[in-house]
Amino acid sequence: EVQLVQSGAEVKKPGESLKISCKGSGYSFTSYWIGWVRQMPGKGLEWMGIIYPGDSDTRYSPSFQGQVTISADKSISTAYLQWSSLKASDTAMYYCVRFATSSGSFDYWGQGTLVTVSS
Amino acid sequence: EIVLTQSPGTLSLSPGERATLSCRASQSVSSSYLAWYQQKPGQAPRLLIYGASSRATGIPDRFSGSGSGTDFTLTISRLEPEDFAVYYCQQYGSSRFTFGPGTKVDIK
């Protein structure tokens, strides 16, 4: 069974750094792109970026380029999303997703990680 | 960047009724790369339709997708109580993904 299991909720202060994780199982982790999707409170879905764990090829949405860093450790089948300096506006639910290249869709979703940034 | 517009913003219907949701793109989208997702409160979205018209694994046949070019439609033939949710369309092209703003289907 394909699963994407994300790390738990985080409460941080503005200016702090953060790295959240997404562990894939039940499939060949290095053969599928893993993406990240943001959902701000009460809002829609925004694609942030995507990484191919096989060779760490990474693409970012222009809206998030330079704001976050996406990485992956294929030895432990885990992808990461990190911030060096959080802002209150980073408060959101973050989902990792598996990208099915043949269909152009996100066929599996993690359960989400809620990040709250507040002073 | 391709912008997706969904209409209506909210659709108020009764169980058993037919729901028709629209997704319009600012430029032509490959039908192979148009998908629909359902999101219920407190849950992650789930894939319903990919390739504009193919149902994902385990999706009931009351859900169907159609369309091409810039106009796509998600149809729910007879609404079940569990279908009241928010629905998003999404496109992929040139290594970029965009989502529509969503249509909320609520109980009339």
pLDDT of A63-72, one tens digit each? Answer: 999 999 999 9
Cβ distance of A106 and B35 shorter than 8 Å: yes
Cβ distance of B46 and A110 shorter than 8 Å: no
Calculate the dihedral angle through the C-alpha atoms of A80, A66, A97, B105, rounding to the nearest 10 degrees.
Answer: 140
Per the document, the length of chain B is 108
Alpha carbon of B32: minimum distance to chain A alpha carbons (Å): 6
Can you read off the two tokens belonging to residue B40? 């219920």
Give the domains, in start order, of chain B with CATH numbers.
Answer: 4-107 (2.60.40.10)
Residues A46 and A63: beta-carbon distance below 8 Å:
yes
Task: Kindly provide the b/e burial profile for residues A33-68, where b requires at least 16 CB atoms within 10 angstroms of the residue's own CB.
Answer: bbbbbbbeeeebbbbbbbbbbeeeeebbbeebeebb
pLDDT over threshold 80, residue B65? yes
Q: Mutating which of B10, B30, B47 best tests the A interface, going by the most A Cβ atoms within 10 A?
A: B47
Cβ distance of B56 and A62 shorter than 8 Å: no
Can you read off the two tokens belonging to residue A87? 């802002």
Over residues B78-102, mean pLDDT: 96
pLDDT of residue B95: 86
Does A91 contact B at CB distance below 8 Å?
no
pLDDT of residue A72: 98
In chain B, what residues touch A103 (CB-CB under 8 Å)? 32-33, 35, 50-51, 54
Distance of CA A91 to the CA centre of its chain: 14
Cβ distance of B51 and A46 shorter than 8 Å: no
Over residues B72-84, mean pLDDT: 97
pLDDT category at A93 given cuts 50, 70, 90 is very high
Q: If we measure between CA atoms, which residue out of A10, A94, A78, A58 comes closest to residue B45?
A: A94
The pairing of strands B19-29 and A45-52 is: unpaired
Please state, rounded to an integer, the average pLDDT across all residues of chain B.
Answer: 96
pLDDT of residue B87: 98
pLDDT of residue B30: 85
Residues A96 and A35: beta-carbon distance below 8 Å:
yes
How far is B77 from B95, CA to CA, in rounded Å?
33
Identify any residues that bridge with A6 across adjacent strands, giving them in sequence order: A22
pLDDT over threshold 80, residue A106? yes
Interface contacts A/B by beta carbons within 8 Å: 67
What are A18-44's pLDDT values in tens digits?
999 999 999 999 999 999 999 999 999
pLDDT category at B1 given cuts 50, 70, 90 is confident
In chain B, what residues touch A100 (CB-CB under 8 Å)? 50
Q: Name which of B30, B35, B44 is nearest A105 (Cβ-Cβ).
A: B35
pLDDT category at A47 given cuts 50, 70, 90 is very high
pLDDT of residue B31: 75
How far is B12 from B42, CA to CA, in rounded Å?
20
pLDDT of residue B106: 95
